Amino acid sequence: MKRREFLALFGGAALVGPRATLAQTPSRIYHLGTLAPALPLADTSPSGKIVVRALAEHGYILGQNLTFDARGAMGDVARLPSLLGELKARDVDAIIVTGYPAALAAKSTGIATVGAIGLGDPVETRLIDSLAHPGGNITGISDVATTLTTKRLSLLKEMSPKLQKVAMLWNKDDLGMSLRYEASAKVAQAIGVTVQALGVREPDDFNEAFSVMNGDPPDAILMVADSLTVLNRKRVFEFAAAKKLPAIYEYDFLVRDGGLMSYGPDLTESFERAAALVDRIFKGAKPADLPFEQPTRYPFVLNLKTARSIGLEIPPTLLALADEVIE
């Protein structure tokens, strides 16, 4: 996964394959919108292509019976309501959103909405009534932060057996990510790992976070991914490298871009399943009646080049666990 793709996911493959011919082509034109806190999730973006391809397999062909209208707030979440207004004026039948802020803004519109990634726990944030019966205009894909954090911390301990303190970076202005941090912190404390809480709200806050870690060095870093932390990922990579700290991230894109390792949902699967939910909505289903789904694939990815650059020797047992190793 490439850098601009992930920015599109939080802000926001082959195209139509031969299987598209297997689906019966719907007779009317359907209008799909997308909304992201950063770059627009356009039909030409890597993840947008996944959505277009998956919908084609259900018989929706871009330019024939499907339109694709993308909007991105370019890091300014205050723009989300006005961008939703534009999509509403375009009379979209459904919206795919990424990130909790976009989902929250969409909740007030009444437009059928599918959250693809980055929503956090939609029940705890009160986006929906329950996973089984969302009860409003939002459904989508959501993972379990507690389970994933347990695995991420076990991977960090495998990398650094003397792990005692982990720095956690997250966006304090994103309720979904704040709750995700809290779940992660509880897991760490339960297994005897001290948490160094480093919440940020804007780019300048990263300087303070680095200063705190300089004064009280952690043994590792765990970064919670949203548009703010991802936009500043290079600074985190550089700090971790300078201090020779192992760091784990939530998505493989971040490892391909220079991070050490990641464990999290397969984003291709998430967007394919989001497209399948859109298909059901196009066919008349209500988001209120469509249960939230969980990813089934969670790749563990390692970047050997990054490890070597900071003098980290990856244990053979950890290499054996990796789904992908980047040389």
| pLDDT of 15 | 33
Rounded percentage of the chain residues whose pLDDT exceeds 90: 83
- Closest-CA residue to 168 (of 160, 159, 179, 322): 179
- Closest-CA residue to 175 (of 103, 232, 267, 251): 103
Range in 21-35, 140-154, 215-229, 242-256 with the lowest mean pLDDT: 21-35
| pLDDT tens per residue, range 160-189 | 999 999 999 999 999 999 999 999 999 999
What are the C-alpha distances in Å from 269 to residues 82, 128, 229, 276? 30, 22, 23, 11
Q: Which CATH architecture has domain 145-264+299-326?
A: 3-Layer(aba) Sandwich (3.40)
Average pLDDT, the chain: 91
Range in 37-41, 110-114, 132-136, 213-217 with the lowest mean pLDDT: 37-41
| pLDDT tens per residue, range 246-255 | 999 999 999 9
pTM over 0.75: yes
Residues in the chain, total: 327
Give CA–CA dist 11/232, Å, rounded.
13
> 22 falls in which pLDDT band (50, 70, 90)?
very low
The CATH 3.40.50.2300 portion of the chain extends over 3-143+266-289, 145-264+299-326
Range in 17-21, 112-116, 191-195, 216-220 with the lowest mean pLDDT: 17-21
Ordered DSSP codes for 34-47? EEESSS---TTSHH
| pLDDT of 53 | 97
| pLDDT of 181 | 93
| pLDDT tens per residue, range 274-322 | 999 999 999 999 999 999 999 999 999 999 999 999 899 999 999 999 9
CATH class of the domain at 3-143+266-289: alpha beta
Hunting for tokens 């390792």 — which residue is that?
261
